[in-house]
Structure 1
Amino acid sequence: MDQAPPYSTTLSPDDLSVLSLLWGSYWDGQALSDYDARLTVIALLRSFFLSPEGRPMFEVGTRAYRVEPGAPLIITLDYPMFVARFPATDFSKMLYEQPVQTLSLIGLAASLALGLDPRETGDSQGLQARFEHVEPVAPMGSLKSGLVGRFVTVKGTVARASAIRPLVLGADFECFKCGVHMPMKFTDGIFQWPESCPTLRCRNKNFELRRETAVTVDYQKIKLQEIDDEGGEPGRIPRTVEVELRGDLVDTCVPGDVVAVAGVVKSISAEAMANRRTGRDGKHHSLYLLYVQANSVENKRQVERQTDEDMEQMEAMMDGAARAAASYAGEEGGGSGEGREGELAKIEGYFHLKHLGAIRAIATDPYCFHLLVTSLCPPIVGQELVKAGLLLVLLGGSKRACPLAARTRVRIRSDPHVLLVGDPGLGKSQLLRACHDAAPRAVYLCGTLATNTGLTVTLVNDGRGDVALEAGALVLADQGICCIDELDKLSCSYHALLEAMEQQQISIAKSGVVTSLSARCSVIAAANPVGGQYHRGKTVSENLKMSGALFSRFDLVFIMLDRADDEHDARVSEQIVRAHAQRRGQGRKGSHFPVHNSGTGGRKPSLEDLNDRENRSLSQRLRMGVDAVGDDPVPKELLRKYIAYAQKYVHPRITPPAAAALKEFYMHMRAEARLHRSCPITTRQLESLIRLAQARAKAELREEVTENDALDVIEIMQESLEAAQTTDAGAVIDFALQSGSMSLSKQVKAFVSALTKESHSRGSSLFPRADLETLAEKKLRLQIADFDRFLDVLNNECYLLKKGPRLYQVMTSNVGGASQA
């Protein structure tokens, strides 16, 4: 190793005595030699740990602990800090090529630096060193035979976690013939019987295992699945790798967690793997399997469990990052570039300086919200309001719990859900794909082939009679987005979604396993109505034949209809023709097709036009925003970075004006329910408005929700509900339609059926209006706000015929009406 003075490369006789006692725990069967070259490396490491540069490794960057009494001492080192301060320039290469030996040398050197003397403690197990934050992260596709024996870091989602078992590392065997005890150590936990007795005159081959002498360690196996944003090829099954956890690393993650595992790539024969799983012998063959023996596990969920002081420190870092990004953009002067890089590196390696500069440029753009809406699936035009709702779902609400919820330990959902329903061919699946690509973490599935266990969680047999949890789509999408296409064709029961969408967890009670897994994700679903076309005379539940309990969990429901509209058709046809006619790299400026500017007389919309809330609706302003942005949307990768930044660091708070606007709208809807112009609604709609208002502020990276944010969200909610609740008969908004109450068409069928039976019992088909109203309200208990309008619908549908003032004849009855004439 290349080294730099003044670190010592010699050891004292007392140090050599300690090493001679610890040597066997690292290299079994090897004796310590005074001329061993590894002693020089140990002396250099020990001198570094005791130097001013290395001493903080024990004070700040390490955690020395024991899992339990009698277990080896474990010390955790920060890899970037260690590499930056250690004088050897080829340490990274040494750890990568010879990880087992390098970790053993660090363990011995740390034992000397900490003053661990087996002669005093009686513990000769040595010290285990672990490295955290090891970079770079290797793609799972690169884990091949060439990396066997190398130290790598892989990142993925835990798809399966086995039960925790004891793994035998060594035991004594007793010869049946002469009774001699023979100790054996099992490399990598592979059990082997002694070949023969070491006694010269015995040579017996039958032994008895002394179980009381077994040396065991906790053992768990997990399966990591690669994350979609790692560049997986379309059509390829996601790659997986098995990881072995031992000692203190067991039970550090559950299915659905995103973890980064640093460890050694190893290979094991399929025969030995079969022996581990079933305990039976297998035939010898040359097939080997790759796995990773973990040295450290970094769980994203554990990192997020921070105290209030940690969060305040994070906010202080973010303030410094914002100043650095502003300086990068040219708005502040002074300061060295290296200082800004170091300050930003403390935040997270995911956001580089160029990312923060671009993110700030987007946030300060006066057309920020319109730019983001246009950048989400640019080929789809005419659905700007739908894309605005999808953008708010991607950003989500504030994840910090309110003080009251924190004190009462009540979980408040911050992830909104949205449902797209409408006629085929309007781009619902394309919008879902765009959301999947824009989300930092997302899972996409089609309902035609999804099962109940594929959505939630399943129990699998691990081959030894025990069961292991394997995560489904909702668990894998934890803290992300779950896109479900063809929701109406879901082969499993919709009840699998109910708990995950509201409680944000999946509970399982099967085969003696009773547990819950987190599913903190937003659900974006798309569905086609029954029969292919949306029936405006039916509710959304009736069009999809779904329960009202599921629909009540969606914050927004967008009805996408194929209407004949000249302006909309012109925009769509213009976009499609331009996309096929323009050359590569040519935008609107180079196209000979005219730009369709709606509502501005052919000119480019100004900022005043986009902020004109009095004369233009949000849908109109969003359509104008497309023309204002032009053919220069935010790139897909940068849009994903922007959304990830907003999700992680922006936590808006509701201001009093915004709270008053949301409360006024909620109270208005409650008043409509009391006047029987709308069925009762619950506070679930109010919570939806709060989540969406926080997301609207996140879109511009603001820490406060303004009144304009609340008004935009109220308008989105109103327009989506009007489209979802308005029937061909002109019914007003009715929240109860989403809760599963009877629609107008069902009310008509129930009333006509009861009226026909009443006509047969009376022997007459003529009814006064008062009798009809009594039958509807008192006997059938139908909730009809305007009974005269209801009678007009029956008259138009030829169920009733008006025979005179306040007198009607039932046309579905074959009973005459002469007696009533």
Structure 2
Amino acid sequence: MSNPRGRGGYRPWFNRGGGAGRAVGFKSKPVMTKSADENSEEFDINDGSFKIQREKNCPYDEWKLYFPTQKFTESQKIAKIIIDMRKHFKTFAHWYDYDVIAETSALHLKMDRLIDDKELDSNWPSWYHDFLNDPVNTLTAVGLAMHSVVSEFLKQKGESMKFYKRIFVRPIGWQPVTRLQNIENAAGKLVCTSGVVKSVGIIEVHPKYICFQCTACSASLCVEQKSLDHITMPSSCIKGCDAKTNFITMMSSPFTVISPKQKLQMREISYQKDDNEVLLEVELTEDQVGSVSAGYQVLITGVLIYTSNITEAHQARNYKPHFQCHSIVCQQGMNFEMYKQIQNNVVPNIVYELENEQNIFKLLIQSFCKNIYGREEAKAAILLALLSGNELIQSRRSDSHVLLLGNPGTGKSNLLLQAAEISPRGVFVSGPMSTVAGLTVNVTGEGNVEAGALALSDNGDCCIDELDKSGSIQKILLEAMEQQEISIAKCSVLTTLAARCSVLASANPINSIYDQSKTVIQNVKFEPQLLSRFDLIVPFVENVQTNNSHFINFMMRQSKDKASTSNLETGFFDSTTNASQSSHRIKIDPQENIKTLSTKELKDYIEFVKHTFRPKLSSEAKEELRTFCKEHAILIKGNDELSSWGIGRFVESMIRLTLSRARAEMSEEATLEHAQDVIWLYKYNSVDIYNEYYQDAGNMNNSNPFGTIKRKTNTNVKALSKPKQMKAFLEYLEEKSEEEDRKEFTTKELKAFASEIGIKDFDDIITRLNYEGAILKTANGYRIPNM
């Protein structure tokens, strides 16, 4: 039976004595000492506070900072690595800023520079193999090589203080990039992987090594700290004084290593939440701490190890993966070079196949959500939103937002699901099932910050289904959609997370039926401030001119569309033609053989062009947009609901959509045709909003694509406010006047009209309209003045 800690063992009565055993602390054998013997020499650090040990045959003063438990021998492989890397650092000194390295204690080592050094490859041909299979010792040796070079550089500058701060090597550009779900097969090796930061823990400070001084002989010794709950003391002094207690901690010693640590969880980039998603626990140290936030897409390089977590002695060992990060790169505003590294320098084959295609955008539309027949205008709007972002406009919001509005069962949810699937970084959520914390950020009791849907879709797309059924999350979208960030201040956590994403939302109209006699604002339960942030609002309204006669033939031919693409038309939208002709050019014709892309090909193409092309507006496109925006400002000037949105936000929306249209064609310049396509698309989806204004806009080059459509007056206004009831009654009265071709009505007739549309307070409405001059009182009733 083992003795309890702090007590003596059992002894018989005739041999008892003494007292209770002395409490024994946690002790460990020191890993190094400064005491001198026949194999070591002593030298003082300039501040004279303590002495450290250096072996006589070791040419590096900093050896014990990097390899505290190893002895130096000239024949070991580490010594050769240090010599080769010292020569590399001195030969290519223009690549490395020694002052910055000394200040930050970090060496950002680009792996392609080692490839360019032919002499290093000749002297050290196995460098890639050593980095891959023995990353810890290799990176430590490279850090020691840079440390010795920096020390010589500082000595030449006249620095009196020796440099005793360890340099950590941060490898950049390690190939290949391994998927997160396959990383467990590379345990113990240097590996690079990409993912999204799901949660970030608090910053903790833990000692790794602590230097102690013996009070009896003044010897200094260093002990490795393996436990986070207590300090491990030396078991005895190894100089020979036999002291077992009374050791003084030397916190100012360079051998006392106290490292800040931060843990985070990283997940695979996926389009919707999965219960079986792969999560990886990553540990950041030193200068990496605090470099990322929840929702960041990162590229990390490090070593995967397995640690055991045993709570009780009788439990079996349970090992779990733990990733020690050596370098981390945030992919915010990812450029083409970073994209190539993630793709392992492989350009998707679909890019080469579409280089000579004359109408790529139409091909993308027909390939998007092929199980939904028609809806080409909605598909075009979604694709433009998917192609936006990634610094499309400098110093401005680059992401476009789209709202799908229509009756239930019209395919809105399927379109959003497909959009999240082909997005390079898409998240799909359901509005009624989402909370504010689930959409923005969740702060746990320990202070861990867990990213929500908007933060996880940073530099991507967030698809929210049935947004109208979640009133709590509509207010938080105002900041996320315009400022592209989320501000959090709760549980002693004050932070701001990036949310640079396109919001693709769907909503059902009031009473689940779209009323064409109302505007979009009157059909949904959204505030005008939220609606104004959407670049395109796509109402799913069936038009009488829509021809669905080929629906059955299309469904029968859907699985056989593998033919050539030579029959695609060169134009997509033509603002000079009527709606039926434009619709015919973008809808599938039974006589037209169109090859569609697979989901993977569509996703690869969108990711490639989004991270590669940043087009600019041509002079013709600028003039076209300028003219249209001026005409748009005139049209909405008299509308209280639409004029409050602001013309400046509308201009930026048109610019974003035009640049996205050019990006779809792999073009570096947005042409006049691209601007005209976007203008036509905006008019097509806004016809129910602006129809009454198009009738008075005879000077517009691009008239209403549907011709003159008479708007019906709302026939039930009892739930509206008094000013809106007055407006609805006046519109209804003007319709009756036009139908009967007369301007004067009796009071009895006006009262009947008011009853038909649900107005109860007839006398007050008539009095206000007469006071404002909208109707004039006559001897027999009231008349409508000539306008």
| Bin of the TM-score, shorter chain as denominator length | 0.7 to 0.9
2:734: which partner in 1? 789
Rounded Cα–Cα distance in structure 2 between residues aligned with 1:358 and 1:57? 40
Q: Say whether 1:682 aligns with 2:719.
A: no
- AA aligned to 1:59 is H
Q: How does 1:591-740 map to 2 (within 5 A)?
A: 607=570, 613-614=576-577, 619-624=582-587, 630-674=593-637, 680=643, 682-683=646-647, 684-723=649-688
* More helix, by proportion: 1
Instruction: Give CA deviations for 1:673-725 in whole Å, capped at 9, x if unaligned.
Output: 44669852521222212211222222222233322222221111112112467
Structure 2 counterpart of 1:129: 169
Equivalent-residue separation in structure 2 for 1:814 and 1:108 (angstroms): 88
Secondary structure of residue in 1 paired with 2:141: helix
Instruction: Report the more deviating stretch, 180-189 or 100-109.
Output: 180-189
Query: 1:181 and 1:394 mapped to 2: Cα distance?
Result: 62
- CA RMSD, 1 decimal: 4.7
Deviation at 1:375, TM superposition (A): 1.7
Identity among equivalent positions (%) equals: 25
> In 1, Cα distance between the equivalents of 2:595 and 2:589?
10
Deviations, residues 424-450 of structure 1 (Å, cap 9, x unaligned) = 222212211221222222222222321
How far, CA to CA, are the matches of 1:652 and 1:814 in structure 2?
57
- Equivalent position amino acid for 1:218 in 2: P
**Matched residue, 1:95:** 131
Q: 1:354 to 1:204 in 2, by over 3 A?
A: closer
Distance 1:184 1:44, change over 3 A: closer
In structure 2, the partner of 1:223 is 265
8 Å Cα contact 1:693-1:705 kept in structure 2: yes
Q: Give the equivalent residue in structure 2 for 1:22.
A: 62
* TM-score after normalising by structure 1: 0.71
CA shift in 2, pair 1:181/1:76, >3 Å: closer
How many Å separate the matches in 2 of 1:198 and 1:267?
Answer: 33
What letter is aligned with 2:321? L
- Residue 137 of structure 2 corresponds to residue 104 of structure 1: no
Does 2:574 correspond to 1:574? no
Shift of 1:250: 1.9
SS at match of 1:508: strand
| Aligned pair partner of 1:364 in 352, 356, 359 | 356
Q: Structure 1's 690 and 511: CA in aligned 2 closer, same or farther, altered over 3 A?
A: same
Secondary structure at the counterpart of residue 50 of structure 1: helix
- Kept after mapping to 1: 8 A contact 2:376/2:587: no
How many Å separate the matches in 2 of 1:677 and 1:128? 61
- Comparing 240-249 with 197-206, greater Cα deviation is found at 197-206
**For residues 379-400 of structure 1, what are the alpha-carbon distances to aligned partners after superposition, in whole Å with 9 as ceiling and x for unaligned?**
3221111111111111126835
Q: In 2, are the aligned partners of 1:370 and 1:625 still within 8 Å (CA)?
A: no
2:391 alignment counterpart = 399
Aligned length: 680
Match of 1:355 among 347, 357, 363: 347
User: CA 1:16 to 1:203, structure 2 compared with 1: closer, same or farther past 3 Å?
Assistant: closer
Q: Which residue number corresponds to residue 76 of structure 1?
A: 108
* SS of residue paired to 1:157: strand
8 Å CA contact 2:389–2:502 kept in 1: the answer is no
Alpha-carbon offset, residue 474 of structure 1: 0.9
Q: Deviations over 1:729-767 (max 9, x none)?
A: x999xxxxxxxxxx964983268x97xxxxxxxxxxxxx
Q: Is the 8 A contact 1:170 1:183 kept in 2?
A: yes
- Note if contact 1:555-1:688 (Cα within 8 Å) is conserved in structure 2: yes
In structure 2, C-alpha distance between the alignment counterparts of 1:130 and 1:589, rounded to whole Å: 50
* Aligned-partner SS, 2:384: helix
Q: Give, in angstroms, the shift of residue 522 of structure 1.
A: 0.6
Aligned-partner Cα distance in 2 for 1:28–1:678: 72
How many angstroms apart in 2 are the aligned matches of 1:481 and 1:104?
Answer: 41
Q: Kindly provide the CA deviation profile for residues 29-48 of structure 1, in whole angstroms up to 9, marking residues without a partner as x.
A: 333245x423xx52355246
Partner amino acid, structure 2, of 1:156: G
1:377 paired to 2:369: yes
Structure 1 position 518, deviation (Å): 1.5
2:433 pairs with 1:453: no
Q: After superposition, give the CA deviation of every residue in 1:279-338 in whole Å (9 maximum; x if it has no partner).
A: xx999863343221211112223866xxxxxxxxx8xxxxxxxxxxxxxxxxxxxxxxxx
- 8 Å contact from structure 1 (residues 257, 301) kept in 2: yes
* Counterpart residue number, 1:548: 528
SS in 1 for 2:265: strand
2:87 equivalent to 1:50: yes
Change (3 A) 1:127 1:657: closer
Q: CA deviation at 1:16?
A: 7.4
Distance 2:617 2:223 in 1: 66
Aligned to 2:411: 427
Letter in 2 for 1:709: H
**Structure 1 unaligned regions, length at least 5:** 1-12, 273-280, 305-313, 315-344, 403-410, 591-602, 733-742, 755-775
- The residue number in structure 2 matching 1:3 is none
Distance 2:325 2:584 in 1: 54
Cα distance in 2 between the residues matched to 1:390 and 1:815:
46
For the residue of structure 2 that corresponds to 1:241, the secondary structure is strand
Structure 2: give runs of 5+ residues left out of the alignment.
Answer: 1-40, 42-53, 698-711, 764-778, 782-787
Match of 2:304 in 1: 265
Q: Distance in 2 between matches of 1:303 and 1:604?
A: 36
Note the C-alpha offset of 1:622: 3.9
Q: 1:546 to 1:614 in 2, by over 3 A?
A: closer
| Structure 1 position 485, deviation (Å) | 1.7
Aligned 8 A contact 1:424 1:528 in 2 = yes
Match of 1:497 among 477, 480, 492: 477
1:518 to 474, 487, 498: 498
Query: How many angstroms does 1:500 deviate by?
Result: 0.5
1:163/1:468 contact within 8 Å kept? yes
1:154 pairs with 2:193: yes
User: TM-score, length-normalised on structure 2?
Assistant: 0.74
Secondary structure of 2:205 counterpart: strand
Q: Which residue does the alignment assign to 1:333?
A: none
Contact between 2:101 and 2:107, CA under 8 Å: does it hold in 1?
Answer: no
Residue in structure 2 matched with residue 439 of structure 1 by the alignment? 423
Aligned-pair CA distance for 1:205:
8.0
| CA 1:494–1:686: 2 relative to 1, 3 Å | same
Q: Is the 8 A contact 1:370 1:626 kept in 2?
A: no
Is this contact kept in 2: 1:169–1:188, CA < 8 A? no
Asked whether the equivalents of residues 717 and 728 of structure 2 are also in contact (C-alpha less than 8 Å), the reply is no
- 1:543 and 1:282 map into 2 onto residues whose CA distance is 66
Given that 1:175 and 1:206 are in contact with CA atoms closer than 8 Å, whether structure 2 keeps it comes out as yes
Larger radius of gyration: 2
Aligned 8 A contact 2:216 2:241 in 1: no
Do the aligned residues in 2 keep the contact of 1:423 with 1:562 (CA within 8 Å)? no
Q: CA deviation at 1:190?
A: 7.7
The answer to whether the 8 A contact 1:441-1:477 is kept is yes
Of 166, 174, 178, the match for 1:138: 178
- 2:516 aligned with 1:536: yes
CA distance in 1, matches of 2:370, 2:621: 31
| Contact kept? 2:461, 2:501, Cα under 8 Å | yes
- Paired with 1:686 and 1:643, the residues of 2 have a C-alpha distance of 25
How far apart, in 2, do the equivalents of 1:453 and 1:473 lie? 9
Q: Is the 8 A contact 1:255 1:471 kept in 2?
A: yes
Matches of 1:546 and 1:165, distance apart in 2:
44
**Is the contact between residue 378 and residue 538 of structure 2 (CA under 8 Å) also seen in structure 1?**
yes
**Aligned residue number for residue 708 of structure 2:** none
